[in-house]
Amino acid sequence: MIIARADTPVGEVVLRRRDDVDELVVNGVFAMDSAEVTSELALADAAGSPPGRVLVGGLGLGYTAARLLDAGAERVKVVELADPLITWAREGVTAQLGRVAADPRSELVDGDIVDHLDGTWDAILLDVDNGPTFLIHDHNRRVYAEAFLRRCLQALTEGGRLVVWCETASPELASTLERIAGAVELISVPVTRQGRSFTYALYRVVRTTGGYSPPWL
């Protein structure tokens, strides 16, 4: 059952409900559902504890943002390219989106994360598109470019974490992050969806100046 649908300059966005499962479809491509959110939660957890001030690229169904808020984040700013998702969150079209929008610590911004990177953050989480290996929107390629990733690193506090979600491992992205940060951690997130097994990838780097070592070294 379609519970919300909208056309945007970057394609159609649809929220569907199947039994008690919410599904997000963008440009005709399945993006995520509420039945399996392990990697979205892992992305939030990779920000550290407590998360502090976190900038998130990509709202999705709200699970990453909600996890950050539940973990005691001081502030969560979410930049989402698909404006209807923000509208639906404020309208409470799904319970999860509604509670994210209602939390006074959260800010939902319509736009491209590349154009809304401002301020200083304890963590920046990028869950844009499906990662660099399988783009729904080709213009999102610049999110994974070295120039933008360097900007993200520079916007972090000392010891702050940049984490990038990918639908599969991306050696090219790993090389870029290692080049700009000196060390990169791959967090593999195995999931099973409708009888099929997948392994999503989170790449995490830490901003360091003067002798700080990433916690995984």
Q: What is the DSSP string of 145-195?
A: SHHHHHHHHHTEEEEEEEEEEESS--HHHHHHHHHHHS--EEEEEEEEETT
Q: What's the pLDDT at 113? A: 95
CA–CA separation, 44 vs 52, rounded Å?
Answer: 11
Each residue's pLDDT expressed in tens, for the chain with a length of 217 residues: 999 999 988 789 999 999 999 999 988 888 889 999 999 999 999 999 999 999 999 999 999 999 999 999 999 999 999 999 999 999 999 999 999 999 999 999 999 999 999 999 999 999 987 778 777 666 778 999 999 999 999 999 999 999 999 989 999 999 999 999 999 999 999 998 778 898 999 999 999 875 444 554 4
Neighbours of 81 (CB within 10 A): 25
Torsion angle of the four alpha carbons 187, 193, 198, 203, in this order, in degrees rounded to the nearest 10: -30
pLDDT at 210: 56
Question: First vs last Cα of the chain: how many Å apart?
Answer: 48
What's the confidence (pLDDT) of residue 202? 97
* Strand ranges of the sheet holding 53-57, from the earlier edge strand across to the other edge: 106-110, 75-80, 53-57, 121-126, 156-166, 196-206, 185-193
Its CATH architecture, for the domain 36-206, is: 3-Layer(aba) Sandwich (3.40)
Alpha helix stretches (DSSP H) within 71-115: 83-91, 95-102
- Per-residue confidence (pLDDT) for residue 211, from 0 to 100: 44
Looking at the chain, how many residues does it have?
A: 217
**CA 50 to each of CA 111, 152, 184: distance values in angstroms, whole numbers, following the listed order:** 27, 20, 21
Distances (CA, A) of 214 to 62, 69, 150: 28, 24, 17
